[in-house]
Amino acid sequence: MAEEPELTKRAGRPSRAQVRRRRAVALGVVVLALVAVVVAVAAVPHIGRHHVAPPPPPPPPHTYRVVFPEGFTRAQMAQRVEAVARIARRERHGRPVKLASGPYLAASRVARIPCFGGARHTNLEGFLFPSTYDFLATTTSRRLVQDQLTAFCQSWRTVDLRYARSKNLTSYDVLTIASMIQGEAVVASERPLIAAVIYNRLRLGMPLAIDAALRYALHIPGTKSILESQLQNPTPYNLRLHTGLPPTPIDNPGLASIVAAAHPAHVDYLYFVAKPDKRHHFFTASASAFQQYECAHGYGC
């Protein structure tokens, strides 16, 4: 009797290859089923659920702006602070702002100036750099003053002081001279010329006769004439009576005036007087030419 083939004997048991194929097919079916479920769930809207969007970010705080022109004094800056603070309060419908003239005057009275060796100065006239500053309702006067001092040092560090130091002038002397240039010059090209007059008069021991210093001390606005009695006031800011520089800067100069104070023109001028246009000046090294010009233009003989 012939033997049955091996396959006939083991027909009830699948081979290993068949088992692997069946398992792969089953796994593929399960994966496809899971993918179908996920797609179906994603496609069906969430009935009964409300999608809540995240709240929008709060708007940025509103900024305000204060502009300090070159040549403003500390007192004028305090007045400007009060004016812009009033505008900010009005725009905020009466809600308060931190800036105010009183705190500004207090904050600008004493400070250490990093670019002046970190020395503590008890008069910040000259150091309150004139520029445009943005502020918030929460900005304090101390913060604004610190921003001005930072801006001053950033500009001051760009100035070459070697020539001024060769003339035995200190950094504070240069700043004081710059404030007088700022107070007298209207036309930019005349700044180095006015600086030259100041340098030349200092070298010769002549009174500087800068009336802007007297106006500063006696609070005389530029729109008013100086009275004869005021010209006799003994204040150390009366540079007709006293030689040398005034005790402090007389305003807060811009960078152009500071540069001119460090780099005067190389001319021999000793005198200058305003021309009729009230912008330009007549410069001369001759006292007689100066007097003749004054007489010819009604300044007195």
Which pLDDT tens digit goes with each residue over 239-267?
999 999 999 999 999 999 999 999 999 99
Q: Where are the alpha helices (DSSP H) in 92-140?
A: 101-107
pLDDT digits 0-9 by tens, 129-163: 999 999 999 999 999 999 999 999 999 999 999 99
At residue 69, does pLDDT exceed 90? yes
CA distances from 53 to 46, 50, 56, 57, 58 (A): 15, 10, 9, 12, 15
pTM: 0.80
Contact 124, 108 (CB under 8 A): yes
Under the banding of pLDDT at 50, 70 and 90, the label for residue 238 is: very high
Residue 17 CB partners (closer than 8 Å, separation 6+): none
pLDDT digits 0-9 by tens, 93-121: 999 999 999 999 999 999 999 999 888 99
Nearest-angstrom CA–CA distance, 16 and 149: 87
| b/e burial code for range 251-264 (CB count within 10 A of at least 16 → b) | bbbbbbbbbbbbbb
Nearest-angstrom CA–CA distance, 244 and 246: 7
Choice between 283 and 28, residue whose per-residue pLDDT is larger: 283
pLDDT digits 0-9 by tens, 157-203: 999 999 999 999 999 999 999 999 999 999 999 999 999 999 999 99
Please, is 238 exposed, middle or buried when counting C-beta atoms within 10 Å of its C-beta (0-12, 13-18, 19+)?
buried
Provide the 3-class DSSP secondary structure of residue 209: coil
pLDDT value for 263: 98
Contact 196, 265 (CB under 8 A): yes
